[in-house]
Amino acid sequence: SQTIHQWPATLVQPVGSPLSLECTVEGTSNPNLYWYRQAAGRGLQLLFYSVGIGQISSEVPQNLSASRPQDRQFILSSKKLLLSDSGFYLCAWSWGGEQFFGPGTRLTVL
Amino acid sequence: QKEVEQDPGPLSVPEGAIVSLNCTYSNSAFQYFMWYRQYSRKGPELLMYTYSSGNKEDGRFTAQVDKSSKYISLFIRDSQPSDSATYLCAMSPGLASGSRLTFGEGTQLTVNP
C-alpha cells in the first residue's frame, strides 16, 4: 500500500530564516505531487504541483519554491521566511483523480 | 465568485442524527467529486469519490451528485462523536496528469454525545 511521509511535524522559525520541508511517498511510482498551505480555519491553497522529476508548476507567486530531486521526493523551500508564511503545510500525491494527503507540517514564523 | 462554495458552519448535532453537508459549484466541467474528512491538526483523509451524477454509499456515508443543479451532498447516518471533524468537498474536471482539485473551504461538524 502507499504511504506518504512529511517532516518535521512541527516547526517554529524566526522571520528571515530559511525553510526546508520534505515529503516522500512509498509504494507507488511516478506519482503527481502537490504542496498545499492551509491557514487556520481556511481552505486549502495549492502552492506547487509536479508531474515528474524536475517538473514544477507554481500556482501562487511568493517567496516559496519547490523541487523534486527524485521520483517520490518533494521539497518545499524558502530562503527567507515571512510572518505570512505561517500555516499548515500539506503534501499530497495522486496517480489518477483522487489525492491522498500526508500528516502535514505546522509552521509558525515568529 | 468562488468556483466552489461550502457553508463553513459550525454545525452541531446530537449523536445519532442524520447530517447533511453540501457544496455548490459553478464550473460545469467538473466531473469528479470527492469528500475529505480532516480531524484537528491532521491531514485530510479521502472519504468518498464519485464520478458524474448519482449516489454512492459506503457504510453510514452517502455521497450524492446533481450535476444539473451543480450541487453535491454528503449524508452521514447515525452520526457518532468520532465523526466530529471538518469536511471538505473537492472536485476536478478530469484525471489527466497534473489534474488539480478545487476545494471548498470546509464545514466544521461537531457530534455531541
For residue B91, is pLDDT > 90? Answer: yes
Contact B43 A43 (CB under 8 A): no
For residue B97, the model assigns a pLDDT of: 59
More confident residue, A10 or B93: A10
Beta bridge partners of B62: B57, B75
- Determine the residue among A46, A101, A106 to mutate to test chain B binding: the one whose Cβ has the most chain B Cβ atoms within 10 Å: A101
CB contact under 8 A, B99 and A44: no
What nine digits make up the cell of A41? Answer: 480555519
pLDDT, tens digit (0-9, with 9 covering 90-100), for B51-60: 888 899 999 9
* Best CA proximity match to B10, nearest among B110, B111, B112, B83: B110
Q: pLDDT value at position A102? A: 96
- Chain A nearest-CA distance from B30, in A, is 12
In this predicted structure, what is the pLDDT of residue B98? 62
- Average pLDDT on A4-25 reads 96
Whole-number average pLDDT of chain A: 92
Residue A43 to residue B103, Cβ atoms within 8 A: yes
> How much is the pLDDT for B1?
76
- Cβ of B46 and A98 within 8 Å? yes
Q: H or E element: which one contains A64?
A: strand A64-70
**Residue B25: band (very low, low, confident or very high) from pLDDT cuts 50, 70, 90:** very high
For residues A39 and A109, the answer to whether their CB atoms sit within 8 Å is no
Spell out which residues of chain B touch residue A44, defining contact as CB-CB under 8 Å.
44, 88, 103
HEC per residue, B35-83? EEEECCCCCCEEEEEEECCEEEEECCEEEEEECCCCEEEEEECCCCHHH
B49, closest residue in chain A (CA to CA): A98
